[in-house]
Amino acid sequence: MCAEPDHYKPLDPPLGPEPVAMVPVVQLYARDVPGLVFPASTDLLQILWCPLVHEDGRYAANPRLHWRNAALTAAGAMAGEPPCPHTADEDYLPRPCTVSPTPAVEYPNWDLPEGLSELLDQRFEDLKKEKGYDYFEVATTQQSKVGGYPGWTQPPDWPDCAGCGTRMEHLLSVTATEPGMGRWLPLNDWASGQDETATPCWMAEADPAALDAFGHDMALGDLGGMYFFVCRGCPDTPYTHRYDC
Ligand SMILES: [Zn+2]
Ligand SMILES: [Zn+2]
């Protein structure tokens, strides 16, 4: 539950003191995401957030991240429906959906080393001319993801760990650009990439009706994203988040 006294739904009158139930946003089991490193004795990652706007400097939902043990969690689970927030900003209210973890190779976008983008500019233009794709479309991953680079909409804002001062590791991004913008490069695409005449699978499968029914359906402000970071060097794996739109 979130009892932040100043959280609000835009255009609505101020809320009373009654706490607001947080909503589940991401649930990942270690067995489904082999590339995700879990802290010792945990195998379940859960992220919830309060679906209201919080004035913590980010003006967005207020998330909480939990590393759990799946067996212990299941043993202590409550019966019946989870609590529902009595009010919510729809921008932060995910539609129930499943994840389909797909290994992908990605290259930095906003996080390209300084000057490299200018050096590669001609190559990017050639690519666009020959294949019709932007670097942004083929090399970066705009969908929600574990690992890789934060799906920044605005220039990078990497956090430093409050405990040790080192730059934190990007854990995962939840982005509003699901599922149809940009692309990721699933491993099976590498094979089809050998055939110059094949239609790339992300284009072949881009049926608008199917895309509409897919994913969490959150606007996150305006095509924004929530980015989670951890420090694995400090006790209890501290985390923080960034939000932009
Ligand atoms: Zn709240
Ligand atoms: Zn640290």
pLDDT score at 56: 83
- For residues 142 and 110, the model is more confident at 110
Q: Identify the pLDDT of residue 121.
A: 93
pLDDT value at position 185?
45
Ligand nearest to the CA of 166: 2
> Average pLDDT of 127-137?
84
SS3 label, residue 115: coil
Instruction: Give the residue, 215 or 202, on which the prediction is more confident.
Output: 215
At residue 79, the pLDDT reads 84
Q: What is the rounded average pLDDT for all residues in the chain?
A: 87
Q: Quick check: 170 and 148 in contact, CB under 8 A?
A: yes
Host H or E run for residue 74? helix 70-75
What distance in angstroms lies between residue 67's CA and the mean position of ligand 2's atoms? 17
> What is the distance in A from the centroid of ligand 1 to the CA of 76?
25
- Mean pLDDT value of segment 230-243: 97
Contact (CB, 8 A) for 19 and 3: yes
From the DSSP assignment, how many helices (H) and strands (E) are in the chain?
Answer: 7, 7
Query: DSSP letters of 145-180?
Result: EESSS---SSS--PPBPTTT-SBPEEEEEEES-TTT
Residue 78 reports pLDDT greater than 70 = yes
Assign 122 a pLDDT band (cuts: 50, 70, 90).
very high
Cα 238 to middle of ligand 2, angstroms: 7
Helix (H, G, I), strand (E, B) or coil at 32: helix
Nearest ligand to the CA of 232 is: 2
Q: How far is the CA of 69 from the centre of ligand 1 (A)?
A: 26
Extended beta strands in the chain, E state: 23-29, 44-54, 60-68, 145-146, 169-175, 225-230, 239-244
CA distance 233 to 213: 40
Q: What's the pTM value of the predicted model, to 2 decimals?
A: 0.89
Does residue 124 surpass a pLDDT of 50? yes
The ligand with the least distance to the CA atom of 167 is 2
Q: Which ligand is nearest to the CA of 160?
A: 2
Please, which residues have CB within 8 angstroms of residue 69's CB and are 6 or more apart in sequence? 41, 42, 43, 44
- CA of residue 36 to ligand 1 center, whole Å: 28
Instruction: Return the minimum-mean-pLDDT range out of 20-29, 39-48, 155-164, 181-190.
Output: 181-190
DSSP annotation of 117: H
Q: What is the pLDDT of residue 186?
A: 47
What pLDDT is attached to residue 102? Answer: 78
DSSP 58: T
Q: What is the distance between the alpha carbons of residues 146 and 79, in angstroms, rounded to a whole number?
A: 30
pLDDT bin (cut points 50, 70, 90) of residue 229 is very high
Q: Which two tokens stand for residue 173?
A: 């991004």
pLDDT in tens, 190-207: 455 555 555 545 554 556
- What is the helix, strand, coil percentage profile of the chain, to 5? 20, 20, 55
CA of 110 from ligand 1 middle (Å) equals 30
Q: Which ligand is nearest to the CA of 52?
A: 1
Reported as a single tens digit per residue, the pLDDT across 84-95 is 999 999 999 999
Of 64, 46, 60, 58, nearest to 91 by C-alpha is 60
The ligand that comes nearest to the alpha carbon of residue 55 is 1
Nearest ligand, measured from the Cα of 4: 1
